[in-house]
Amino acid sequence: MNTKRVVTMLIQTVKSEIVSHLSYIIGNNNEAAVIDPRRDCKIYQQIAKNWGAKINYIFETHRNEDYVTGSLELEKLTGATIFHGPGLPWGFGKIIKDNQEINVGTLKIKALHTPGHSPDSTSYVLYDLESGEEPVIVFTGDTLFVGDVGRTDFLGEKMTPTMSERLYDSINDKLLSLGDGVIVCPAHGSGSVCGGKIREREISTIGIEKKTNPMLNLTKDAFIKQKTSEQHQTPPYFMQMEAYNLNGPPILGEIPTPYPLTPSEFKKTAENSYIIDTRTPAAFGAAHIKDSFSLTPKRLLNVGWVADYNKPILLVVEDLHALDFAADNLFRLGL
């Protein structure tokens, strides 16, 4: 009796809450690839292990500004090859060419250079060769979001019109022509500072975006005018993220575990530290340490507005769960 082997396309989203970051792992036939991994990256290795797969490739959609990439950490764990788009002087990984194709089992990933949000922005189109030659998913990074498009102001005011035009061309000439049924998987969801009006849904399709995304119904001139008129906030920590993600952040292997301090040790260390209190506002209001910042767990991204990378951070937390949450998320910010 002949038994037909069933080949399955596997995909899982890994979400990092406070930066609204969405990364993806795909797999097929004992092979896997990760798109835009976060820094605490053992989760991808565990998912691949559950699938019986090995991670062979890491694809970065762009040099991220809001969190530390996990590509080097994951490369050390798995030996996978890292790919970036062109346009920046990368300190690690390899450049992937426009339209270059890489197979992951019977899946095919095709790189599309889609600059605009950043010079190196690259989208990755996924094909399931078992079901046909039509594209199934496009991982758009910060080029196209659900209900919005990427920022174009990171290179400065003088370059914003040029980057806006490049973004328009990338979306209209490369992404929208993929087909209305293609699933859109962006690198960020609602709440990210990398977009202004990203909707709550985390996935969409090209067809839905054509109908509902207001930025996709503008002429080129109107699109550029809209993008150049936008007012976005840029947290100070973005500068450190850009340096880390261009040259390669330090490889730590494990999330550093905070250790407890006695009151006298805390007082001595506090003189040259940032004190972050993650307890409830009511608890903070009732009593708090002088010069501390009240930032509840979901607001920890705001640490990037007040802290720099030359001073230690002291945490005041409600319990061990809050401590773990804070440590994980500060690790993703490189703090």
pLDDT for res 256: 83
Alpha carbon distance 187, 21 (integer Å): 6
Instruction: Evaluate whether residue 5 is within a structural domain.
Output: no
**107 and 169 both lie in a single domain:** yes
20: left (phi over 0), alpha (psi -120 to 50) or beta: left
Instruction: Evaluate whether residue 312 is within a structural domain.
Output: yes
**141 and 55 both lie in a single domain:** yes
Last residue in a domain, options 223, 247, 271: 247
For helices 42-51 and 71-78, what crossing angle results, to 10°? 40
Instruction: Evaluate whether residue 254 is within a structural domain.
Output: no
Q: What is the residue type of 318?
A: E
Number of separate helices (H) and strands (E) present in the chain: 10, 15
pLDDT for res 1: 38
**71 and 217 both lie in a single domain:** yes
Last residue in a domain, options 247, 281, 312: 247
Instruction: Evaluate whether residue 167 is within a structural domain.
Output: yes
**241 and 269 both lie in a single domain:** no
Q: What is the pLDDT along the chain (335 residues), one digit of tens a residue?
A: 343 444 589 999 999 988 899 999 999 999 999 999 999 999 999 999 999 999 999 999 999 999 999 999 999 999 999 999 999 999 999 999 999 999 999 999 999 999 999 999 999 999 999 988 999 999 999 999 999 999 999 999 999 999 999 999 999 999 999 999 999 999 998 877 777 788 888 899 999 999 999 999 999 999 999 999 998 888 888 889 999 999 999 998 888 888 899 999 999 999 889 999 999 999 999 999 999 999 998 899 888 888 878 889 999 999 999 999 999 999 999 88
Instruction: Evaluate whether residue 257 is within a structural domain.
Output: no
**304 and 232 both lie in a single domain:** no
Instruction: Evaluate whether residue 252 is within a structural domain.
Output: no
pLDDT for res 197: 84
Query: Which tokens hold the place of 26?
Result: 């795909």
pLDDT for res 334: 86
**Number of independent structural domains in the chain:** 2
**139 and 88 both lie in a single domain:** yes
pLDDT for res 7: 57
Contacts of 311 (CB under 8 A, 6+ apart): 272, 273, 274
**269 and 322 both lie in a single domain:** yes
**228 and 268 both lie in a single domain:** no
Instruction: Evaluate whether residue 202 is within a structural domain.
Output: yes
**310 and 211 both lie in a single domain:** no
**192 and 48 both lie in a single domain:** yes
- CA-nearest of 108, 107, 65, 110 to 85 is 110
pLDDT for res 326: 92
pLDDT for res 175: 98
Last residue in a domain, options 247, 282, 311: 247
**282 and 173 both lie in a single domain:** no
pLDDT for res 255: 82
Range of the domain at 273: 263-332
List, in sequence order, every beta strand (DSSP E) within the chain.
10-16, 21-28, 31-35, 54-59, 81-84, 94-95, 101-104, 107-113, 122-128, 135-141, 183-186, 204-205, 274-277, 293-294, 313-316
Q: What is the CATH number of the domain that holds 28?
A: 3.60.15.10
**296 and 225 both lie in a single domain:** no
Instruction: Evaluate whether residue 130 is within a structural domain.
Output: yes
Query: Which tokens hold the place of 209?
Result: 């975006």
Q: What is the CATH number of the domain that holds 281?
A: 3.40.250.10
